[in-house]
Structure 1
Amino acid sequence: MSQNTPSEHTDVAREPEDLSRLFLRRVNAGDVDGLVALYESDAVLATPDGGEVRGEAGIRAFYAALVASAPRFAPGEQHPALRVGDLALTSTRLPGGAGATAEVARQQPDGTWRWILDRPNVL
């Protein structure tokens, strides 16, 4: 989907580990709306320059700029989520030793999962 096309997301994260799979599919498709849908409305996303963006508008602007260059992301080695109650720590080792991700997801009232904190590269 293009970033200008409203997306319908019938494929949702039923488990916290699903978020990474959905992220890869949506970022490689340039689906900005789909990427934003992976986050809670007040989520915080760390940026490569050491800053952060907050909320839907900030996350949308960040991903719109990212997908404008049509990047291709490859899957990494995903670790099983660590869970406590309705929170889960997700992480993925990036391909080629390029670092790792760390995210906190929260289970939603409908049973699905969304990220509330995202650090795309912890190294």
Structure 2
Amino acid sequence: MKSAKTPQEVHALLAAAFNTKDLNVIMNVYDANGIIFPEPGKEVSGRAEFEEAVKSICAVPGVMEIKTVYCLQSGDVALGRSEWTITDQGKTQVAAKGMEVMRQQPDGNWKIIIDHAFGAEANLVA
């Protein structure tokens, strides 16, 4: 199974995994012990809830594209800022600006430990 060898590869790997709709490939991009915000204000953690959140994202029809705005790394931790879309037949289904924290795993690969898919939206209030 393909893994990200650098934090800069994580966004492209996540988009490719989403586009296969293969839950195992998508889950391999994440550390399921982390957290994901699949929608504003909704925090999900724990493997079962994490998988359900990923399944709901996979249910959105279309192709995901993720643009890496930046990726800052310090040792085995990195912060990514992304702009992502899911389009279907030329129509945008979802578009957002996200933030992701990634950690290098003991095997050297990088996984997302915090995925705030809407975390960089200008109107998001804590």
The question of a shared fold, defined as TM-score above 0.5 by the shorter chain, is answered with yes
Q: State TM-score, norm by structure 2.
A: 0.78
1:59 pairs, out of 50, 57, 63, with 50
Q: CA deviation at 1:14?
A: 0.2
Match of 2:124 in 1: none
Does 2:73 correspond to 1:83? yes
Match of 2:105 in 1: 108
Match of 1:118 in 2: 115
| Conserved? CA contact 2:8–2:71, under 8 Å | yes
CA distance in structure 2 between the aligned counterparts of 1:56 and 1:80, rounded to whole angstroms: 28
Extract structure 1 runs of 4+ deviating beyond 4 A: none
Q: CA deviation at 1:106?
A: 0.5
Q: CA deviation at 1:49?
A: 4.2
Q: Taking every aligned residue pair, what percent have the same amino acid on both sides? A: 26
Q: How many residues align?
A: 112
| Conserved? CA contact 2:3–2:28, under 8 Å | no
SS at match of 1:13: coil
Gaps of 5+ in 1: 1-8
SS at match of 1:75: strand
| Conserved? CA contact 2:18–2:26, under 8 Å | yes
Match of 2:88 in 1: none
Q: State TM-score, norm by structure 1.
A: 0.80
Normalized per residue, the structure richer in strand is 2
- Computed over aligned residues only, the root mean square deviation of the Cα atoms, in angstroms, reads 1.9
